Structure 1
Amino acid sequence: NEGQLVQGLLQRISTPAAPHAVPERYDGSPGMCNSFLMQCTLYITHNPSQFRLETDKVHFVISLLTGRAKEWATALWTVNSAILQSESRFLSQFKAVFGDEWK
């Protein structure tokens, strides 16, 4: 009936999505690359209003880097690399450098 339909819609609208924790920081360890990127993807996907631009997503990932991974990103940032303007290019390069856990 119409009342049940409206009630179902209201329940879906008023039920907030489950919060997702901010991913742990990543230091460049090869064995952790894929799980780090998975956590970032989940967080970004569930918080779309925070990531309207591709560069927002890239900057978020960079903000979680430490150690060797941070040094790599800093080198790209210093030369204003075009890789930083594209999420897909950034992730492709990131995986090429740090993601050899399945090789």
Structure 2
Amino acid sequence: MDGRMQLIKALLALPIRPDTSRWMNPIPFPNMFDGDTNRLPEFIVQTGAYMLADEDTFSTDALKVTFLITRLTGPALQWVIPYIRMESPLLSDYLGFLAEMKRVFGWVEDDDF
């Protein structure tokens, strides 16, 4: 747990915007997510597009989930802390993590899509 917690803390300490001296992702840097159900679809699209444009950086599910965690704040950040403490397998399962976020924050998808 110590290693993952240190990684999360280090990522949370990074600047809000990526360093402009390196490759610039053409997708805008995703906004923070505080747990507002109405903003969850937008958050998932923003973070997904950002990671898709930089597949080299986000090459594993664990890196994708870690990135999502760095974009959480308020109640959403408080929600994820127990998962980090218990080293949940969801931290290495991007689609599972998204499904849990949707369940917890009340996003019900239409079956028509």
TM-score range, shorter chain: 0.7 to 0.9
1:96 aligns with 2:103: yes
Aligned match for 2:53, one of 25, 40, 46: 46
- CA distance 1:69–1:20, shift in 2 (3 Å): same
Larger Rg: 1
8 Å CA contact 2:35–2:76 kept in 1: the answer is yes
Question: What secondary structure, in the 3-state scheme, does the structure 1 residue paired with 2:72 have?
Answer: coil
Secondary structure (helix, strand or coil) at the match of 2:84 reads helix
Aligned to 1:8: none
Could you tell me which runs of 5 or more consecutive residues in structure 1 were left unpaired when the two chains were aligned. Answer: 1-16
Match of 1:84 in 2: 91
C-alpha distance in structure 1 between counterparts of 2:99 and 2:71, whole Å: 17
Identify the structure with the greater helix proportion: 1
Write the distance in 2 (CA, Å) between the matches of 1:44 and 1:18: 9
Separation of aligned partners in 2, 1:21 and 1:44: 11
Partner Cα distance (1:101, 1:93) in 2: 12
Aligned CA RMSD, in angstroms, stands at 2.0
- Separation in 2 of the partners of 1:76 and 1:30? 20
Check whether the contact 1:28–1:98 (CA below 8 A) recurs between aligned residues.
Answer: yes
Do structure 1's residue 26 and structure 2's residue 26 form an aligned pair?
no
The number of aligned residues is 88
TM-score normalised to the size of structure 1? 0.77
TM-score when normalising by structure 2: 0.71
Letter in 1 for 2:58: F
- Name segments (4+ residues, structure 1) moved above 4 Å: none
1:42-89 deviation line (CA, Å, top 9, x unaligned): 001111111111100000000000001001111110111111111111
Query: SS of the residue aligned with 2:56?
Result: helix
Over the matched positions of the two proteins, sequence identity in percent amounts to 29
